[in-house]
């Protein structure tokens, strides 16, 4: 069984871009709008021009602090997870969020491992509390704002990417929404899948006459599997199998089993994908975040925390419920699960 510092979520907050209807706007992104409607999304969120990831993360953080009845001066550590293209290179958005909140001297940490940042941030908060008795309150914020210069939000990785942020105030010894355990797995064979080829130091600018969006990240996927449907099918099987493994590992570390799960919160994937992981765990899809995913779109690292916030707000979680926040993050590939007891 895993042993770590007792830590619970005191309060959460969210911030979203403007809600947009998938059916009404798909034609702005794709020549065949029907292709994206098959994913099962009804709506997504898009920030107004000029609104940044730092703006959204700070807004969610202010809401979480207000809901907790705390000020930024009460926070001992700020942890930011950012899952899309950063606003600038050579720049730390976690420090920028701290500045936006009016923090002075508060340590900050940045996680950029896409959709896995949520689980890693909770682990880091627990570790910081275990290592330092002076760390009693941690603010965790997760944000995703799509760079439409680099990617097509409706044609990337089988989801509709959405702009949103969630924040949580974590406190040592808090009895509700307690982090029990976590587990993760990384397969480095797939490190290059879904990477954006242009914009980094290897290829800073697109070739003449092309743009960032002309260079489809899915090409790396096709090349990796040699356009072989059987190899790709085995990969999909591994995605689901590894996912079940990390959920079981987290449960074992907490001394629990699948029969005790009240809810599975996956990332806001397509309806078909969420049904698949629900079947793999043996939980009815009604006890997942499938319906929330339809309305929210894929908010990257913020998905699990946003869904936890909304399920709690709707009264769908009761004290004692065991919740698995889990997912698969690409690029990477990373599989992860964190258990929370309501």
The residue ranking higher by pLDDT, 224 or 275, is 275
Share of the chain above pLDDT 70, in %: 97
Q: Where are the alpha helices (DSSP H) in the chain?
A: 22-25, 33-37, 53-68, 93-101, 117-131, 218-224, 229-253, 271-281, 290-296, 303-313
Per-residue buried b or exposed e for 169-197, using 16+ beta carbons within 10 Å of the residue's own CB: bbbbebeebbbbbbbbbbeeebeebbebe
Strand order from edge to edge, sheet including 77-82: 108-111, 77-82, 137-144, 164-172, 7-16, 178-186, 334-341, 322-329, 261-265
pLDDT for the residue 217: 65
Average pLDDT on 234-239 reads 79
Model confidence over 178-195: pLDDT tens digits? 999 999 999 888 888 777
Residue 40, pLDDT above cutoff 90: yes
What whole-number distance in Å separates Cα of residue 75 and Cα of residue 54? 18
* Domain assignments of the chain as residue spans, ordered by start: 7-175, 180-341
Q: Which of 28-37, 197-206, 213-222, 277-286 has the lowest mean pLDDT?
A: 213-222
Handedness of CA 305, 25, 147, 31 (dihedral sign): positive
Model confidence over 241-258: pLDDT tens digits? 899 999 999 999 999 999
What whole-number distance in Å separates Cα of residue 138 and Cα of residue 149? 33
What whole-number distance in Å separates Cα of residue 274 and Cα of residue 289? 8
Report the relative pairing of strands 18-21 and 43-46 from DSSP bridges: antiparallel
Model confidence over 285-306: pLDDT tens digits? 999 999 999 999 999 999 999 9
Confidence of residue 218 (pLDDT cuts 50, 70, 90): low
pLDDT for the residue 4: 66
Model confidence over 106-159: pLDDT tens digits? 999 999 988 899 999 999 999 999 999 999 999 999 999 999 988 899 987 789
Handedness of CA 174, 177, 182, 187 (dihedral sign): negative
R_g (Cα) of the chain, nearest Å: 19
Confidence of residue 99 (pLDDT cuts 50, 70, 90): very high
pLDDT for the residue 128: 96
Residue 234, pLDDT above cutoff 70: yes
User: Do the domains spanning 7-175 and 180-341 agree at the CATH topology level?
Assistant: yes
pLDDT for the residue 219: 67
Supply the DSSP string of 202-259, one letter for each residue.
Answer: SS-SPPTT--GGGS-THHHHHHHTTT-HHHHHHHHHHHHHHHHHHHHHHHHHTT--GG
Note if the pTM is more than 0.85. yes
pLDDT for the residue 224: 74
CATH architecture of the domain covering 180-341? 3-Layer(aba) Sandwich (3.40)
Query: Regarding the domain delimited by 7-175, which CATH topology (the fold level of the hierarchy) does it fall under?
Result: Peroxisomal Thiolase; Chain A, domain 1 (3.40.47)
């Amino acid at each position: 069984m895993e042993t770590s510092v007792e830590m619970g979520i005191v309060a959460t907050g969210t911030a979203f871009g403007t809600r947009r209807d998938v059916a009404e706007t798909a034609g702005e992104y794709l020549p065949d709008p029907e292709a994206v409607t098959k994913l099962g999304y009804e709506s997504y969120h898009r920030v107004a021009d000029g609104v940044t990831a730092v703006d959204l993360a700070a807004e969610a953080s202010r809401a979480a602090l207000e809901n907790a009845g705390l000020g930024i001066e009460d926070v001992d550590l700020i942890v930011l997870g950012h899952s899309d293209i950063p606003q600038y290179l050579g720049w730390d958005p976690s420090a920028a969020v701290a500045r936006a909140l009016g923090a002075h001297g508060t340590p900050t940490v940045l996680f950029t491992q896409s959709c896995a940042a949520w689980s890693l941030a909770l682990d880091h908060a627990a570790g910081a509390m275990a290592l330092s008795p002076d760390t009693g309150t941690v603010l965790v914020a997760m944000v995703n704002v799509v760079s439409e210069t680099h990617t097509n939000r409706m044609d990337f990785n089988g989801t509709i990417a959405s702009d949103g942020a969630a924040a949580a105030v974590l406190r040592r010894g808090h009895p509700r929404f307690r982090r029990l355990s976590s587990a993760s797995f990384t397969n480095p064979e797939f490190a290059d899948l879904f990477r954006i080829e242009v914009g980094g130091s290897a290829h800073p600018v697109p070739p003449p006459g092309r743009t960032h969006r002309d260079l489809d990240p899915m090409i790396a996927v096709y090349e990796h599997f040699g356009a072989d449907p059987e190899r790709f099918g085995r990969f999909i099987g591994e995605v689901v199998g590894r996912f079940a493994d990390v959920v079981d590992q987290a449960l074992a570390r907490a001394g629990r089993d699948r029969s005790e799960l009240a809810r599975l919160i996956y990332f806001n994937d397509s309806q078909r994908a969420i049904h698949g992981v629900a079947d793999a765990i043996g939980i009815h899809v009604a006890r997942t975040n499938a319906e929330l995913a339809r309305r929210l779109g894929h908010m990257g690292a913020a998905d699990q925390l946003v869904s936890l916030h909304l399920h709690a707000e709707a009264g769908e979680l009761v004290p004692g419920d065991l919740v698995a926040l889990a997912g698969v993050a690409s690029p990477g590939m990373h599989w992860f699960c964190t258990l929370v007891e309501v």
